[in-house]
Amino acid sequence: MAESRRYALQGFFGPGRDEMVSHTPHAAYLGMRVIEIGAGFAICKLPYREEIIGDPQRRVVFGGAITTLLDHASGIAVACALEELIPVATIDLRIDYLRAATPGLDLFGRSECYRVTRNVAFARAIAWDRDPADPFASAMGAFMLGANRSGVPFSRDGEGGGAPA
């Protein structure tokens, strides 16, 4: 029987915890929440608020907030796919806006890390408002592994604390 794969953030798998947002000031400022994480995936929520409206007439959310939602979910998905806890940084993120998000609704993003190489990981994501089967945006991203050697925001046991990389 083959051994089960171990993940560096395995202690966080399951329902989201506040630590998964608190280390990213922009995501924390937007009120983002991590709904669930697991082996190579993350689901995040961006609550609808007046401060993130980009089009006052239509009351739709600003595209930059949607970018942050998908980038954050993707970065967490990558971190959740790693066996060793190392810093992750976005190299490239392409977002396709399929339609406007429905005004007044909270937004959700789900990302999956589908490939990890020695230096780069790859993720794909969708964002939705009512139903994940009807996304309003999709994304593809590349993430540098080991980008900032000064430290990481979590330890292997799922506790915060900036353990050295």
Contact 44, 69 (CB under 8 A): yes
> What pLDDT shows up at residue 5?
85
> 138 is in which domain, residue-wise?
10-145
- Cα→Cα distances 18→14, 27, 36, 48, 123, Å: 13, 11, 11, 18, 22
| Section 107-117 average pLDDT | 98
* Average pLDDT score over the chain: 89
Whether residue 134 is contained in a domain is answered as: yes
Find tokens 């980038």 and name the residue.
71
Q: Where is pLDDT greater, at 162 or 130?
A: 130
What's this model's pTM, rounded to 2 decimal places?
0.87
Whether residue 164 is contained in a domain is answered as: no
Whether residue 155 is contained in a domain is answered as: no
46: which strand partners? 107
Q: How many domains does the chain have?
A: 1
CATH number at residue 90: 3.10.129.10
